[in-house]
Structure 1
Amino acid sequence: MVALLVPGGRGQLGHDLVASTPTDGLVHAPSSSELDLTDADAVVDAVAAFASSARDSELKPVVVNAAAYTAVDAAETDEDRAFAVNAVGPGLLASACREHNVPLIHVSTDYVFPGDGQRPYEPDDPTGPRSAYGRTKLAGEQRVLQTWERSWVVRTAWVYGAGGPNFVKTIARLEGERDTLSVVDDQRGSPTWSLDLASGLVELAELVVRGGEPARVLHATGGGETTWCGFARAIFAELGADPERVKPCGTEDFPRPAPRPAYSVLSGQAWAAAGLTPLRPWQEALRAAFAAKAVP
């Protein structure tokens, strides 16, 4: 059985990784304040202790890195800090994993791509981030893959869940505050329930410890695609509200410090080809999330 160390374990994805770990496994999910990935000594100590504990319990250790600097707009003026968390930290983690022969799964983002695609991005498509956040996440991918040969990078997008702020919670709040709501309709992506993503990452970890998957980059998002406006209308429908209260607008109507990708759809073909279960269609996942009261 697999044992997981989950840096960033109190965040949105970390919360669901804990919930998705088999009950007879072991999971240690420190918050970013409990395990600062930019502290080299702390990272080495944490991985060493985790690996020893897992092996003493006859479990296979895997590190799943869910820690990240995710304030996309703030990163435009705080790129040094974002780089420390999103690039330097994962590099230190990969080095510690190499030292103790522990596989590493590192979670990344659609923002590493330029966002001008015409079809779903494959893992080996050329990158070209347009924001500080995207640049720091791409640097983290590179450091992980260059440091430790047993590293996997899993890119995802448009994640929402029970923990932390997210688009679903924001739209649900605004539905109760406004008669109508304008939401951008010229950015496309795939909404991803963090519980589905977490289940997929645990499945990947189990495959990794069986030696059934070579180290590489993979994509995992909810199935299908929509715009932010389409996503908001679906949220209104789940709330029992009239979706027509959500009005489409353009990106230019909501200027932000960091540029947003116009096209963020990630292909799941490599994920499925590895024998991993595709994440369910985003509409189905959204219904399930509301039914489970995981949102808003």
Structure 2
Amino acid sequence: MILVFGKTGQVAQELAAYPNVSCLDRAAADLSDPESCAQAIRNTKPAAVINAAAYTAVDRAEDEETAARIINGDAPGAMARACADLGIPLVHISTDYVFDGSGTAPWTPQDATAPLGAYGRSKLAGEQAIMAAGAYHGILRTSWVVSAHGSNFIKTMLRLGRDRDDLTVVSDQIGAPTSARAIAAACIIMAEGLMSDPNKSGIYHFSGRPETSWADFAREIFSRTQITCSVTDILTRDYPTPATRPLNSRLDCSATEKVFGLTRPDWRQELTQILEDLGETG
């Protein structure tokens, strides 16, 4: 059995559809109480653990960095120590926000990290705590997560696009949407791969293809659903937010494909499925 931390998040809801997966909600294991997470692993003694839970309020984290650090940093560390004690692997979802977003080259797992804000710092702390614990691990950095569940860019655009004639959307942040369904599948494959070969432990990248901007992503959403709202490009500097977003979220996923056979999903195909799941047929 694979134990999953998280039940209501985008990736956790996709993981729940897999056989032999048990998802823990906050009542069963609260990430703000890291030791409860470790105890849940010790009590359950699963074959592997996937951490699909996190503090994801990027802007609010600027005022709540301590809370973000406990949930995104201390809790994964506690999970990893429990996994190390049991000799089982931990797959942990991380983020492109651990980088500063400079340049235009895709980030490799070996590139130097330099998070721009509290959220990125908290996620980097989680990565470091996992590696320090000595557990077999797969840290999976991803970007721009979307699905038919929860809150995400697709659902926001559908809502706003129907209410407005024109939207301004940032065009200088470049990355790739990644479906929660594809991330969940990647987590399962990584967990199984680590169970059979712990030497595959490490940091990996996984994102959709091809790269695009948020503005062009919005245009594609509207085109698919025949929403007539027009999109006007805007620069990040002209759309201030409490937390600074990375401009370059391109991820080099070649190691993930080489080690686990995971190819980057085409986000345009994933968008088709998500819109169908939402009942959006245009």
Please tell me whether the aligned partners of residues 209 and 265 of structure 2 are also in contact (alpha carbons under 8 angstroms): yes
Of stretches 36-45 and 67-76 in structure 1, the one that deviates more from structure 2 is 36-45
Unaligned regions of 5+ residues in structure 2, if any? none
C-alpha displacement at 1:294, in angstroms? Answer: 7.6
Q: 1:101 to 1:264 in 2, by over 3 A?
A: same
Please tell me whether the aligned partners of residues 221 and 266 of structure 1 are also in contact (alpha carbons under 8 angstroms): yes
Letter matched to residue 11 of structure 1: G
Corresponding position of 1:113: 99
Match status 1:263 vs 2:261: no
Corresponding position of 2:273: 288
1:14-53 pair list within 5 angstroms: 14-19=12-17, 21=18, 23=19, 26-51=20-45
Corresponding position of 1:234: 220
- TM-score, structure 1 length as denominator? 0.90
Give deviations 1:54-105, integer Å, cap 9, x for gaps. 5xxxxxx110001111100001111011101010111111111112222101
- TM-score, structure 2 length as denominator? 0.95
Distance 2:35 2:109 in 1: 32
Distance 2:192 2:199 in 1: 10
Distance 1:190 1:249 in 2: 18
Corresponding position of 1:70: 56
Letter matched to residue 31 of structure 2: L
Question: 2:184 is matched with which residue: 184, 193, 198?
Answer: 198
CA RMSD in angstroms, aligned pairs only? 1.7
Distance 1:64 1:33 in 2: 17
1:72-221 pair list within 5 angstroms: 72-211=58-197, 214-221=200-207
C-alpha displacement at 1:252, in angstroms? Answer: 2.1
Please tell me whether the aligned partners of residues 145 and 152 of structure 1 are also in contact (alpha carbons under 8 angstroms): no
Q: 1:212 to 1:132 in 2, by over 3 A?
A: closer
Of stretches 142-151 and 68-77 in structure 1, the one that deviates more from structure 2 is 142-151
Give deviations 1:110-164, integer Å, cap 9, x for gaps. 0000000321111111110011100110011000011123111000000011221
Please tell me whether the aligned partners of residues 83 and 135 of structure 2 are also in contact (alpha carbons under 8 angstroms): no
Matched-pair identity in %: 38
Unaligned regions of 5+ residues in structure 1, if any? 55-60
Distance 1:169 1:292 in 2: 12
Letter matched to residue 91 of structure 2: I
Question: Secondary structure of the equivalent of 1:64?
Answer: strand
C-alpha displacement at 1:295, in angstroms? Answer: 7.3
Distance 1:141 1:282 in 2: 26
Please tell me whether the aligned partners of residues 169 and 231 of structure 2 are also in contact (alpha carbons under 8 angstroms): yes
